[in-house]
Structure 1
Amino acid sequence: MRNISLENVDVAPSVVDTKSWLLLNPDIQMELDGAVHNLYNSKHDQAEKQFRSLRRRYPQHPMPYFLMGLSAWWKIMPSNVTNTIYDKSFFAYMDTAITKGERLYDLDNKNYEACFFLAAAYGFDARLHAERHDLRKATISSKRALDYLDKSKEANGLSPEFLLGQGLFNYYAAWISEEHPWLRPILLLFPKGNRQLGMQQIKNVADNGMYAGPEAKFFLMKILGSERENKSADALVVARQLATTYPDNGYFQRYYAMMCFNNGEHRRCEQVSLDILDKLNRGMPGYEGFSGRYATYYLGWLNQNKYKNSTKAKDYFQRCVVFSEATGQTGVGYYVHANYNLAKIADEENNVGAARRYYQVVVEKAERKSDIYLEAKDYLRTRKVMKADIRQQQGPSYTSEYKPSKKTSAKSRLSSLDVKAN
């Protein structure tokens, strides 16, 4: 098995003809700067118009096909990669980029630009196959991407663009076997990573890359905000940069709203969330139920806890539930907590029937032994006992649903806490 080493190399190759490389062509960079901005700002029609213009002039180069595939990828991203409408066009463009890249590499094995696009195209191909749970194809494409990454590392000193793939592999490969031990047999096929070096390389591309810069910032934002790194404040800085530079990218906007929420910047979180809902209502590309789920939850929480407006809070939480169900996002997370908060509001309004319905969802969906699960379980058990007692006291003529007074409700909540404590 070939020994692949992905250490950083910052020395430009001494004898390489780069005249035909579009990556290093300043005129092409100037021309595509706006196109790349449009791509990440969800202006796909405008971006693709420029990419097609590039394809007409350079039909045998992998770059325009890769960029068209990247545009398809960012049409998929806002749905948390669940939207399969663009899969065929994505794979077709990446396959074409691979075919064109391999042809250039066969003509010149020192064409590191061809290696760059081959590694990138195979890498994105692997990402989507992994999202579609096709582990065999994802593994094959990952191996091929690594092969070309190894070949292209000699050109790291020519452009920061070349570093992103190596940085991502170095960072993720260093810990993925620890987090996912079931993948270890497959990971034996790959070289070991270097987490610290990977982070350094990703930051380098984020700061200096033109084509790969936005993608590097995206990964840097996700990495810093992860539980493993737990650098939420740093993630907020990157998220703010992306959201400010690309204000119409729904994915960046909702992630920025989340980082603001997590870091206590509630006023800014509210502004961004309202903007998300406005763009969603106007039908802007990339703004759909996934973004609406985030925005409505934050607005519900703020109205419940900051403004003490239970009417608005209830409306936003109910909309969060609808968005979650419409997008199939009904696992642990915003869906469960929206139901939990709706149950709390219903309890305060002495609407036992509604509170029971919402708490029942919490019991079914929340993690066992979590605080909200135990609270919901206690509430349902306590109300069931109280209802049975009332029926027994009133005899067979009792037919109406028990609705406790405010005094009784307060007492029952205290009882519920006592049960939980015991």
Structure 2
Amino acid sequence: MNRNIFITCLVLIMQSTAFGQLFSWFGSDDEPVKELLMDRKIQIETTAAINNMYNFKFYEADREFKWLLVKYPNHPIGHFLLGLSDWWKIVPDTGIERYDKSIHGHMDETIDLAEDMLDANGGSKEAAFFIAAAYAFKGRLYAERENWVKSAWAGKQALKYLEKSRGDENINPELLFGDGLYNFYSKWIHENYKSLKPLLTFFRKGDKQLGIAQLENVSQNAFYTRMEARYFLVQIYAMEGQNRKALRMSSMMHSIYPDNSFFHRYAARSSFALGRMQESEVFARELLDNITAGKPGYGDNEGRYGAYILGFIYNNYKRDKETAKFYYQKCVEFAQSNDSEDAGYSLSSLLALGNIEMDQKNYEKAKSYFDLILDQKNRKSSSYKTAKEKSQELKKLIRKQS
């Protein structure tokens, strides 16, 4: 997490809390709103489309979501799911902006239809959940684009409607989703971003372990929010250093959704973090092969992970320095392509390239790699400190050569 972490997490929490109720009702022009959360037929019909979305079969998913627009034209469900589908199209790389207009458009339609529902149904709490969810997605996207004023405003609207939706909540695993995320992230922000402590005094205290337990409950027992809980748990486990759990979860999700690059990438990352090099090498090669094949969802982020893992393996296990340099350089190129030069794998690749060239007595070339690290803004990283020391050492060696 970075860049105005408080706002980003706030709208994230609003989004996820609302998601737990998003399927709680449907209706038509000539009948009142009908609760269908536990309707098995609707679950089966909707799950097929959602599974297609998570497996990056967006054409098939969107076709079913558009059908909801026809069947339930006065309800926000169709537009919300189409907006959610567009969001998942940028999950592998949130720097992609081509879907921004579509996401905002669908969420605006969701808000308009849900506001009509709110008026027509005497303050429908389900309608309020939809409005909160739509504003949360808008705020989250604004945060990604560093439009903090709009992000803060959307987050405020999400909070307002979230409060309207509280009460009359049936006990079911779906509703634990938002609480789980709130409990974890509010505590995590408090621990990792000391400067935001004054802002957090206005919110109830979280409990990270309770939050994880709640999300694990949802990931096993919920129907609609099960996969979203697993999406967040993969990241939470990685942040908390629980790499075995991260690998178990990401590998399972990769087997369920083999075309989802996000879970594929985390399976590679987690196996690598555990030192399972053969397994991580397979995942890494698959990532790069899928990029070469032009597979949807696979791009620079996946390339950065895959290339670094292979570079590390060739450098430290196969003792093939030239092939290691090839993959490290590919990692740097992928990072440059999506403006993530200051990411960990990119900096580590530059450090490794510098060390290899230094060992091969190519001092000027080695220094050029270390200087690239020193040009980055993150001066607190271990890579920056090491590069600074190496650069100073190289200056002496270069003077001796001349």
Q: Counterpart of 1:129?
A: 142
* CA deviations over 1:210-261 (Å, ceiling 9, x no partner): 32221111112212221xx332222222222222211111122112211111
Secondary structure of 1:78's counterpart equals coil
> Is residue 293 of structure 2 the alignment partner of residue 270 of structure 1?
no
Q: What letter is aligned with 1:51?
A: F
Q: Closer, same or farther in 2 for the Cα pair 1:23/1:125, shift >3 Å?
A: farther
Counterpart-to-counterpart distance in 1, 2:149 and 2:385:
41
Q: Figure out how many residues of one structure are paired with residues of the other and give that number.
A: 373
> Which residue of 245, 268, 271 maps to 1:260?
271
Q: How far apart are residue 150 of structure 1 and its match?
A: 4.1
Q: Counterpart of 1:173?
A: 186
8 Å CA contact 1:336–1:366 kept in 2: the answer is: no
What RMSD over aligned residues (CA atoms) do the two structures have, in Å? 2.7
Counterpart-to-counterpart distance in 1, 2:244 and 2:59:
34
Q: Counterpart of 2:73?
A: 59
8 Å CA contact 1:126–1:141 kept in 2: the answer is: yes
Q: What letter is aligned with 1:23?
A: L
Q: Counterpart of 1:72?
A: 86
* CA deviations over 1:261-315 (Å, ceiling 9, x no partner): 1111221111111111111111111111111011100011011111112122111
> Is residue 246 of structure 2 the alignment partner of residue 235 of structure 1?
yes
* CA deviations over 1:104-133 (Å, ceiling 9, x no partner): 222334744333323322222222222222
8 Å CA contact 1:116–1:152 kept in 2: the answer is: yes
> Is residue 121 of structure 2 the alignment partner of residue 105 of structure 1?
no
Secondary structure of 1:242's counterpart equals helix
Q: Counterpart of 1:85?
A: 98
Query: Comparing both chains, which one has the higher relative contact order based on Cα–Cα distances under 8 Å and sequence gaps of 6 or more?
Result: 2
> Which residue of 282, 287, 300 maps to 2:298?
287
Q: Counterpart of 1:356?
A: 367
Q: How far apart are residue 153 of structure 1 and its match?
A: 4.7
Q: Closer, same or farther in 2 for the Cα pair 1:327/1:195, shift >3 Å?
A: same
Q: How far apart are residue 386 of structure 1 and its match?
A: 4.0
* CA deviations over 1:157-195 (Å, ceiling 9, x no partner): 364333322332233234434544544565565454444
* CA deviations over 1:62-120 (Å, ceiling 9, x no partner): 111111010111112111x1111111110111121122222222233474433332332
* CA deviations over 1:371-407 (Å, ceiling 9, x no partner): 654554444444433443454xxxxxxxxxxxxxxxx
Counterpart-to-counterpart distance in 2, 1:288 and 1:302:
21
> Is residue 55 of structure 2 the alignment partner of residue 41 of structure 1?
yes
Q: What letter is aligned with 2:104?
A: F
Secondary structure of 2:43's counterpart equals helix
8 Å CA contact 2:374–2:384 kept in 1: the answer is: yes
Counterpart-to-counterpart distance in 2, 1:18 and 1:224:
43
Counterpart-to-counterpart distance in 1, 2:158 and 2:382:
44
TM-score (norm 2): 0.83
TM-score (norm 1): 0.80
Q: Closer, same or farther in 2 for the Cα pair 1:309/1:39, shift >3 Å?
A: same
**Bigger shift: 211-220 or 346-355?**
346-355
Segments of 5+ residues of structure 1 without an aligned counterpart are 1-5, 7-16, 392-422
Give % identity. 36
Secondary structure of 1:257's counterpart equals helix
Q: How far apart are residue 58 of structure 1 and its match?
A: 0.6
8 Å CA contact 2:261–2:297 kept in 1: the answer is: yes
Q: How far apart are residue 370 of structure 1 and its match?
A: 6.0
Secondary structure of 1:20's counterpart equals strand
Q: How far apart are residue 152 of structure 1 and its match?
A: 4.1
Counterpart-to-counterpart distance in 2, 1:151 and 1:56:
28
Counterpart-to-counterpart distance in 2, 1:254 and 1:385:
41
Secondary structure of 1:84's counterpart equals coil
Q: Counterpart of 2:217?
A: 204
Q: Closer, same or farther in 2 for the Cα pair 1:318/1:62, shift >3 Å?
A: same
Counterpart-to-counterpart distance in 1, 2:147 and 2:389:
42
Q: What letter is aligned with 1:323?
A: F
Q: Counterpart of 2:46?
A: 32
Structure whose CA Rg is larger: 1
Counterpart-to-counterpart distance in 2, 1:374 and 1:189:
37
Q: Counterpart of 2:157?
A: 144
